[in-house]
Structure 1
Amino acid sequence: MDDGRVATPATERYAKKKETILAAATAILNRQGVKGMTLADVAAKVGLITTSVTYYYRKKDDLAAACFMRGLERFDALVTEADRAPDRRGRLLKFLELYLDLNRRVRLGEAAPLTSFTEMRALKEPLRASVQGAFADLFRRVRRFFEGPDFEHLDKRERNARTHLLLEQMFWAGSWLRRYDVDDYGRVRDKMYDILVNGLAPPNEKGESRDWAPAALPDPTPQSPDGQEWRETFLVAATRLINQRGYRGASVEEISAQLNVTKGSFYHHHEDKDALVVECFERTFAVTRKAQADARALGQDGWEQVAAATAALVEYQLSEHGPLLRASSMGALPIEIRHEMSQGYNRGSERFAAIISDGVAERSVRAVDPMIAAHMINSMLNAAASLGAWVPGVERDEAARLFARPLLMGLFTK
């Protein structure tokens, strides 16, 4: 034991049972959020009565906070091992390799579920501050991947943006890795690494990097039906609150208060909260679809199209009509609705993959795996919704350069 005491069968049983509870709670937390998780559900999953769980964790928030802290400890261990690599490329490759191996062991039932950190802010104080402080410590450790002589051209804001981008690529990979057999993880690692290091843009005729100058696209905000301009305001406010609090953390009362309407007025326009979340997702899909279609309509090569669409969508996240609804909100929806929304999200990925595939064929995009690249773009776009938390004061007109460019041009590109 860390404190020097000799482990006994009793302490070993205690530690083992605590780990079992944490694993069960993490699975429920990932699916139902902080508000949706109950001690009774966790107890039932591990074959205990609720009072037995309270012997280890007195309150639900204590258990949720412990799940977040354990998840951070596991990621911190990956960073510690990756940090031993001799150079920047080695650190990045090792980080990817370790994460994918951990994800593989989770899928095979050899390791406890990985923790989703999307609902940290749903914790009550002082637990929230404690967990967020630990997350900030992890963030600073990963930021060291972008420090040293090789990165003197980056200022702190640029390092923060790239750190946020890299971490979110890891966090969100779990949502699309299940499309692949665990036997294919080695190839996935290599393709992800190639994109993170080299981006999508091929060098120009002189062997130099292409310029980052994405074309401006029209505003992709969906047009409200005549006389229903209020609906856009309603959906934007609801999206912001759900992104902040999580699906279960954003109550009808809070949504109504944000909009300065009564609960009765809310239910006049929406059958229930599920119906509102579906409409927020449909709006998100419509914005993404419009940006992709407008990029296609440019009539330029695949690189110009993917750069224009991603830049427009990153900027949209920081606009008065943003952000878009984060994909994590799908996890708490009823299974039949979740499947439908997942299909809508996948169609957006497939459109990006089609643009990239066309670009590869005409050699305006490097020979990357189009579907993996599309998943990584969607991960980046999801993460852009919280870019302001890591790059305080970031302006809309600089967001794409800070956040989309490093993925499309490579994390190590000047």
Structure 2
Amino acid sequence: MGVGPPSSLAAVGDAPGLRSARYERQRARIVEAAVLLVNEKGVCAMTLQEVAQALDLTTTSVTYYYRYKEQLTAAVFEDTLGRLHDMVREAAGAATPQERVARYVEIYFDQFARGLRGKAPPLAVLSELRTLEDGARRPLLAKYQAIFRDVRRLFGEVDTAERKRLFSARAQLLNEALFWTIIWLPNYPLSDFHNVRRRMMDIFENGIASAPSSWTGSIVDPDAGALEDAKQDFLRVAARLINDIGYKGASVERIVSELKITRGSFYHHLEAKDDLILECYRHDYRRMTRIQQEVDRSERNALFRLAGSIMSVLTLQFEGSHPLLRTTALHAMPVGLRQQAIERFDRLARWLAGVLVDGMGDGSVRIVDPMIAANIIISTINSAYDLRGWARRQPREDAIDTYAAVLMTGLFDRPC
């Protein structure tokens, strides 16, 4: 018993080719149902039973195709990475860096719209890759690294160490800005996607600063003068561990082991691990507010204040001792807590949009869509933690200047 597909999925006497086609179609249906649940609940919360219920199947019908949840989860990311790589390969056929990037963005937006219309499965949230066990995670990360290298080549040949560093920063900004659209793009009507894409591409091409050579800023330490308490040690270690190995890997046992304290001490300060993640986001929001308040004291123009904020956060992300918590933790949180964290990102986006509008008023910032630009800034500074290795291979000031310049002046070489 149990050696063939459930009787409801195959008819007696089917030809081998027909059975094979049905088998692959059913596997694709299961992956499509699973990606929706992964994006909604996160890998840890998704179950095979829920996948089966979404398809009106029994759990046994699902386990015939994917015996374990880990196998299905890996298939979800395999599918997304394959489709993403196809997009990059298609875009690579265009003639110039600008045309290649524009084509990549166009294909990505089209895929996003098809997913919202139900015409194609959505792409899985790739940050959830971090939640997988090493054996499943490593080959999938290798596939993403191959995609990243191909995205980097969209900007040209990587023929010197300097160009490799620069093109890596550009590829990171581009990919993370596209991935972050899952948070804010659904707020726009599908009929306006063309205009949103056009405005986003304008920022990619020309940056934010009105004069490419005029941007600068002062770096602020958001933790200077802040009152120390025992909870901050939890937050510092938790943020680093969650950023590195995901929510599941950053167990209470591992946190207390690094701090050399007892579990009782942990639960004295925090009731549950979910509270820790939310408190990390709250703490980050307070740190961002301190940066904001400090740079706002300057009488310089809005671009100076904006650059100072960005460079200050990049310093936190590149140093890595107490970074901001990556959005990789969002989908591991219960839906209610996740919404609270997203609301904080929304408030940050609104503050950034306000500074951008001020800059348009004083002439230091180009005329751009402030909310799109704000979300590009958020995705850029948030994901900078992943470039710590890149930053270590050069002077820290050079790394901050290079990465910030990609935001300020755009993704492409300017004519001499």
State the distance in 2 between where 1:336 and 1:361 align: 38
Is contact 1:26-1:115 (8 Å) kept? yes
CA apart distance, 1:62:
1.6
Report the Cα offset of residue 222 of structure 1: 7.1
3-state secondary structure, aligned to 2:22: helix
Out of 75-84 and 243-252, give the one that drifted further. 243-252
The answer on whether the counterparts of 1:24 and 1:45 sit within 8 Å (CA) in structure 2 is yes
Report the aligned-residue RMSD: 2.2
Do the aligned partners of 2:219 and 2:311 also contact (CA within 8 Å) in 1?
A: no
* Conservation of the 8 A alpha-carbon contact between 2:128 and 2:331: no
Who is 1:189 aligned against? 197
The 5-angstrom pairing of residues 140-159 of structure 1 reads 140-148=149-157, 154-159=162-167
- Which consecutive unaligned segments of at least 5 residues does structure 2 have? 1-14
Which residue type is aligned with residue 350 of structure 1?
Answer: R
Q: In 1, distance between residues paired with 2:71 and 2:95?
A: 39
Counterpart for residue 263 of structure 2: 263
Question: Which has the larger helix fraction?
Answer: 2
Matched residue, 2:282: 282
- Does residue 47 (structure 1) correspond to residue 56 (structure 2)? The answer is yes
Q: Which residue is equivalent to 2:408? A: 408
How far off its partner does 1:35 sit? 2.9
The one-letter code of the counterpart of 1:237 is: V
**Following the alignment from structure 1 to structure 2, what is the Cα–Cα distance between the partners of residues 161 and 29?**
28
Match of 1:170 among 178, 200, 206: 178
- Return 5+ residue gaps in structure 1 as ranges: 1-5, 204-208
Which amino acid in the other structure matches residue 157 of structure 1?
R
Correspondences of 1:11-160 after superposition (within 5 Å): 11-148=20-157, 154-160=162-168
**In the alignment, what sits opposite 2:373?**
373
The partner residue of 1:201 within 204, 209, 234 is 209
Q: What displacement does 1:348 show?
A: 0.7
Partner of 1:220: 222
| Stretch moving more, 96-105 or 7-16 | 7-16
The offset of 1:296, in angstroms, is 1.6
CA distance in 2, matches of 1:90, 1:23: 31
Which of 198, 208, 213 aligns to 1:210? It is: 213
Shift in alpha-carbon separation, 1:139–1:168, aligned structure 2, 3 A: same
| C-alpha distance after superposition, 1:60-115 (max 9, x if no partner) | 22211111111111111111211121211111111111111110111111110211
TM-score normalised by L of structure 1: 0.90
Measure how far apart 1:390 and its partner are.
5.2
Cα distance in structure 1, aligned partners of 2:57 and 2:252: 33
Q: 1:396 to 1:51 in 2, by over 3 A?
A: farther
Output the CA distance in 2 between the equivalents of 1:331 and 1:125. Answer: 19
**1:125 and 1:340, CA in 2 relative to 1: closer, same or farther beyond 3 A?**
closer
Give the Cα separation in 1 of the matches to 2:80 and 2:389: 20
SS in 1 for 2:118: coil
The 1-side partners of 2:236 and 2:163 are apart by 32
After superposition, what is the alpha-carbon deviation per residue over 1:289-336, rounded to whole angstroms, capped at 9, x for unaligned?
222222221111111111111111111112354310123423333333
- Residue in 2 aligned with 1:232? 232
Letter in 1 for 2:163: D
* Residue 7 (structure 1) shift: 7.9
Distance 1:22 1:320, change over 3 A: closer
Partner SS, residue 71 of structure 2: helix
Counterpart CA distance in 2 for 1:7 and 1:215 is 67
Contact 1:93 1:193 in 2 (8 A): yes
1:385 aligned partner, one-letter code: Y
